[in-house]
């Protein structure tokens, strides 16, 4: 759960993303990166983050040292040699360029996927024929309780039926969605986390289940996490914070 | 929107409506056309489905329309359900089973309240697979059937007794709520650690 | 049994299999015909469904076939089915998903090499949203888990098969980085040429 504490640099998905941003911002030719300039920009960014006392993911620092090493390599005298095709192959920047290009490719693919988001295709649940269906005994250990709990968790992600005009279904009074919002609100309000059992204020059966499933789901969504200092001690639920 | 486009959208809507089905009124509303046109298109679809290279059909019950398989194909469908690949429990059945396991004895309506969706099919499946069984009737209006897990349920999950289950199950009345919550979580953690 | 009858039964079986789907092998077994014939009929069905008066289509994920609605009708179907504000995927999750989609099966470490940053959290998110699933283990040190996209990935983005993924952008010449990428691209090119 320690990733909960790792603050991500705003708007950047890692050092490669930050570098691509700088390259775009300064209209730099990706195949001919002015290492000294970009290193300076990059370091400025890192310092700004440090100044804001943000916890910088170690990958950013690794990249910083890579850039600094590149910079000093580029300053070596053999740079005087005229750039030829052969020289290009030995360009110390080559590896970084490849990584940037590779990353860029998938970043663009992600954007294309994003454009498709919401164009949902629907599949229906399987059909069963009720008449004289043979009783099918099940085999030992075909499934685990884990599967069952997983199904409970998935229940929430499922599309809910929009109550049609003439439906006979009685809507649940305590929806898990609602309970997730409640739990999240409570947890958000308490900085030091909240005792797990304090979430179960209303001891009615459906509410207990709804709350339990809500916490489970929130954990899966990485919106809250739980901590237990020692075995059998009280559990605390904490808010993870922005995604 | 031309008739063929309307027909395609209505087929899609019928398909997606699943077990719940859809009414003429709903279709008219979504497509922003009058009910007579909807009925006309449903008739056209029905006619298409009568062709013997089609495997689905429209059924109508209490003014709700559903897509369904053709009765003459039930033999094949039964065979598919009986083949190993399909014996895996569906998401709906698993959810329902989890709820029954935790809260037994429980009525179908109570299950539906938690799932927020009609659950007669999954209950039916679980019954037919002998994972759950009837446990008498609840002493309330309509005396609804109560369901609980069966012996086969234990076998299926490789358990020797219900006590091995992450129990929100039988002693709910006696267990104090706090204790129960702790138990829930302890189990959930255990499961998580196993991953 | 003639082709049109086979077609009708296969449509019925696809319909009945729902979100469990059905494989060519299963269909061949149930109908007692060879797999080539099954594939041939599936192609015929797909072709029929392309007609613009049809509202359903066949999707394929890892050799399992499902009947589904058409992506272009999502707007109407959404009006009937309330999708409770499914949170959009974060940039991190989208990037991770794109890498998995094009390079599957792939390990988390390989994803992290491309993204240049730890990716356990987006992988977790994608797993919990059932957009990716485990696809065995890689035969290297530590036997890391391999991830691939799921059927829900296709339905979420309105794709009927992985082949519909948009081709990766050019500057591919330099991609000695991963053999898979080249392989994938070769496939896309083939597809593109076929269109």
Q: What is the pLDDT of residues B58-68, one digit of tens each?
A: 999 888 999 99
B: neighbours with 3+ CB pairs under 8 Å?
A: A, C
Residue A72 confidence (pLDDT) above 90: no
Whether the per-residue pLDDT at B193 is higher than 50: the answer is no
How large is the average pLDDT for residues A172-179?
68
Q: Does C134 touch chain B (CB under 8 A)?
A: no
Highest mean pLDDT among A57-71, A129-143, C145-159: C145-159
For residue C4, give every residue at least 6 positions away whose Cβ sits within 8 Å of its Cβ, in sequence order, or none: B52, B53
- Specify the pLDDT at position A146: 67
ipTM of this predicted complex?
0.66
Please tell me the distance from the alpha carbon of residue B102 to that of residue A213, in angstroms, as a whole number: 12
Average pLDDT over residues B106-126: 83
Between chains, do C11 and B56 touch, taking CB under 8 Å as contact?
yes
Q: What does pLDDT average to over chain A?
A: 72
Q: Which residues of C touch A117 (CB under 8 A)?
A: 88-89, 156-157
B–C interface: beta-carbon pairs under 8 A? 112
| Nearest residue on chain C to A6, alpha-carbon basis | C118
Which stretch, A155-159, A163-167, C177-181, has highest mean pLDDT?
C177-181
Length of chain C: 195
Question: How far does A82 lie from chain B, in Å, by closest CA?
Answer: 57
pLDDT tens-digit map of A10-61: 568 899 999 999 998 889 999 999 999 999 999 988 888 777 766 778 888 8
User: Of C55, C67, C81, which is closest to B9 when you measure between CB atoms?
Assistant: C55
Q: What is the mean pLDDT of residues B68-80?
A: 89
- Asked if residue B181 has pLDDT above 50, the reply is no
Q: Is A154 in CB contact (< 8 Å) with chain B?
A: yes
Say yes or no for a CB contact (<8 Å) between A137 and B152.
yes
pLDDT of res. A138? 55
pLDDT digits (tens, 9 = 90+) for B3-53: 899 999 999 999 999 888 999 999 999 999 999 999 999 999 999 999 989
pLDDT, position C104 = 95
A-C Cβ pairs (cutoff 8 Å, strict): 167
Task: Check pLDDT > 90 for residue A106.
Answer: yes
d(CA A61, CA C27): 55
Distance CA C193, CA C180 (A): 20
What are the C-alpha distances in Å from C125 to residues A9, A215, C60, C78, C156? 19, 16, 23, 24, 15
- Name the token pair of A51: 């100044």
Region A175-200: what's the mean pLDDT? 77
Task: State the pLDDT at residue B127.
Answer: 87
Name the residue with higher pLDDT: A198 or B137: B137
State the average pLDDT over residues A134-155: 58
Angle at C161 between CA C155 and CA C163, to 5 degrees: 140
pLDDT at A171 over 50: no
Residue B188 has pLDDT above 50, yes or no: no
Phi and psi angles of residue C163, each rounded to the nearest 5 degrees, phi first? -65, -15
> What gap in Å lies between CA C42 and CA C10, rounded to an integer?
8
In chain B, whose CA is at the least distance from the CA of A237?
Answer: B185
Asked whether the beta carbons of residue C116 and residue A16 sit closer than 8 angstroms, the reply is yes
* pLDDT-wise least confident of A40-54, A197-211, B52-66, B93-107: A197-211
Q: Nearest residue of B to residue A137 by CA position?
A: B129
Q: What is the pLDDT of residue A114?
A: 92
Going by C-alpha positions, the residue among C74, C55, A163 that lies closest to residue B26 is A163
Contacts of C121 (CB under 8 A, 6+ apart): A3, A222, C92
With CB atoms and an 8 Å threshold, state whether C53 touches B9: no
When pLDDT is cut at 50, 70 and 90, the band that residue A185 belongs to is confident
pLDDT band at B88 (very low <50, low <70, confident <90, very high): low
Q: Which residue has the higher pLDDT, B163 or B24?
A: B24
Residue B132 has φ and ψ, to the nearest 5°, of: -130, 165
A124 touches chain C (CB under 8 A): yes
pLDDT tens by residue, B20-30: 899 999 999 99
- Cα gap A207→C60, rounded to integer Å: 40
Determine which of C55, C152, C160 to mutate to test the interface with B (most B C-beta atoms within 10 Å). Answer: C55
Beta carbons of C20 and B54 less than 8 Å apart: no
Low-confidence ranges of chain C (pLDDT < 70): 82-86, 170-195
- Would the pLDDT of A157 be above 70? no
Chain A interface test: which of C96, C112, C157 (most A C-beta within 10 Å) = C157
Window C:108-167, CB contacts with A under 8 Å: 114-118, 120-121, 124-125, 128-130, 151, 154-160, 165-166
Rounded average pLDDT over A146-164: 49
pLDDT at A172: 42
* Chain B neighbors of C11, CB-CB under 8 A: 54-56
Under 8 Å between Cβ of B119 and B112: yes
Residue B137 has pLDDT above 60, yes or no: yes
C155: Cα within 13 Å, side-chain hemisphere = 24
């Amino acid at each position: 759960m320690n990733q909960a504490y790792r603050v991500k640099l705003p708007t950047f998905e890692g050092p490669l993303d930050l570098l691509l941003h700088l390259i775009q911002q300064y209209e730099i030719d990706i195949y001919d990166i002015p290492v000294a300039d970009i290193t300076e920009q990059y370091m400025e960014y890192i310092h700004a983050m440090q100044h804001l006392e943000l916890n910088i993911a170690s990958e950013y620092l690794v990249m910083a040292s890579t850039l600094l090493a590149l910079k000093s390599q580029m300053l070596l005298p053999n740079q005087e040699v005229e750039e030829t095709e052969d020289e290009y192959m030995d360009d110390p920047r080559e590896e970084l360029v490849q990584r940037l290009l590779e990353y860029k490719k998938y970043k663009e693919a992600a954007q294309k996927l994003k454009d498709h988001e919401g164009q949902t295709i629907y599949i229906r649940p399987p059909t069963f024929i009720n008449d004289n269906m043979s009783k099918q005994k099940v085999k030992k250990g075909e499934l685990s309780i884990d599967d069952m709990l997983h199904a409970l968790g998935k229940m929430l992600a499922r599309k809910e039926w929009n109550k049609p005009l003439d439906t006979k279904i009685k809507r649940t009074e305590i929806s898990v969605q609602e309970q997730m919002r409640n739990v999240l609100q409570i947890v958000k309000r308490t900085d030091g986390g909240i005792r797990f059992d304090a979430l179960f204020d209303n001891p009615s059966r459906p509410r207990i289940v709804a709350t339990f499933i809500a916490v489970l789901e929130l954990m899966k969504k990485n919106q809250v996490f739980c901590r237990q200092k020692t075995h059998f001690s009280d559990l605390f639920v904490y808010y993870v914070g922005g995604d | 929107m031309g008739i063929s486009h309307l027909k395609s959208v209505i087929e899609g809507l019928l398909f997606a409506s699943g077990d719940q089905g859809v009414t003429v009124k709903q279709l008219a509303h979504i497509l922003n056309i009058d009910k007579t046109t909807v009925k006309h298109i449903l008739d056209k679809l029905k006619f298409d489905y009568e062709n013997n290279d089609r495997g689905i059909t429209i059924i109508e019950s209490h003014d709700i329309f559903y897509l369904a398989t053709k009765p003459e194909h039930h033999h094949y469908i039964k065979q598919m359900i009986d083949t190993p690949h399909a014996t895996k429990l569906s998401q709906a059945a698993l959810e329902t089973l989890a709820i029954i396991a935790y809260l037994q004895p429980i009525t179908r309506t109570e299950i539906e309240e938690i799932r927020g969706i009609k659950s007669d099919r999954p209950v039916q499946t679980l019954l037919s697979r002998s994972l759950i069984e009837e446990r008498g009737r609840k002493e309330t209006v309509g005396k609804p059937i109560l369901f609980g897990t069966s012996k086969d349920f234990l076998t299926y999950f490789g358990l020797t007794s219900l006590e091995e289950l992450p129990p929100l199950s039988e002693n709910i009345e006696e267990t104090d709520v706090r204790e129960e919550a702790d138990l829930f979580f302890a189990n959930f953690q255990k499961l998580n650690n196993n991953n």
